[in-house]
């Protein structure tokens, strides 16, 4: 296990998953942390802004941390992307809870 490293708030935490079109004008990183089943669950979100399309597409990944040690490196959900930040965050929180509940201690 490696030590937890705080991600750079200026850079996305993961590469764009499939389904996110190339040519994004800006990437908007954001992280949300909560506790569940004695684990810190970190939902890493990245918004891919397209000025030409007038929209931002959101993707997320889940990381699990215990006692400041990464026990599950970020897993990016590549199945789909989201048109709204709130929708991506809600799905990320739900997926994070499920991962924390099934994590092999």
Instruction: List pLDDT tens digits, range 7-20.
Output: 455 577 777 887 78
3-state secondary structure string across the chain: CEECCCCCCCCCCCCCCCCCCCCCCEEEEEEEEEEECCEEEEEEEEEEEECCCCEEEEEEEEEEEECCEEEEEEEECCCCCECCHHHHHHHHHHHHHHHHHHCCC
User: Considering the entire predicted model, what is its pTM?
Assistant: 0.83
Q: What is the pLDDT of residues 56-96, one digit of tens each?
A: 999 999 999 999 999 999 999 888 899 999 999 999 999 99
């Amino acid at each position: 296990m490696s030590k937890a490293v705080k991600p750079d708030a200026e850079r996305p935490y993961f590469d764009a998953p499939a389904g996110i079109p190339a040519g994004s004008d800006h990437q908007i990183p954001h992280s949300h942390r909560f506790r569940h089943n004695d684990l810190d669950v970190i939902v890493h979100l990245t918004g891919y802004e397209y000025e030409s399309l007038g929209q931002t597409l959101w993707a997320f990944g889940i990381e699990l941390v215990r006692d400041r040690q990464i026990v599950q490196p970020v897993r990016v959900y590549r199945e789909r992307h989201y048109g709204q930040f709130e929708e991506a965050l809600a799905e990320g929180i739900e997926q994070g809870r499920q991962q924390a509940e099934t994590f092999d201690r």
